[in-house]
Amino acid sequence: MSRQARILLVLRHSPYSSQIAREALDAALTAAAFEVPISLLFINDGVYQLLPGQQPEQLPAKNISKTLPALALYDIDQVYAAQVCLKTRGLPLDQLVLDVEVLDVNGVAALFHQHQHILSF
């Protein structure tokens, strides 16, 4: 029996600039529901999805930060964030809504090489 290929979802957009962030999470949860191994990488403005206290009530959008803790229920535990993106945006690790493994540039490159399929949102 062959090992199932892992999918890396790269979340690079801010949470509410469009529906892309929501669609990425929906794709991750759907794939995980079918037992497809999923890893998530937050880069660029996608790291803003990890912030607590999001208040999208004035927008026609659901609060993404409330969905993220549910990832563990779907066995999505391979969650990463690019160190440079967190640092340049001044986001401290102890204030994120989700425990992430922080990767330097070499770690991000290695992550891309470890996955057979990469979807960028």
- Residue 17 has what pLDDT? 77
What is the per-residue pLDDT for 3?
59
pLDDT over threshold 50, residue 99: yes
The mean pLDDT of the chain is: 90
Q: Where are the domains of the chain?
A: 7-120
What torsion, rounded to 10 degrees, do the Cα atoms 52, 55, 59, 63 define? 40
C-alpha distances out from residue 34 to 42, 53, 95, 101, Å: 22, 31, 31, 24
Q: What is the pLDDT of residues 60-90, one digit of tens each?
A: 667 787 789 889 999 999 999 999 999 999 9
Q: What is the pLDDT of residue 1?
A: 33
The CATH code belonging to domain 7-120 is 3.40.1260.10
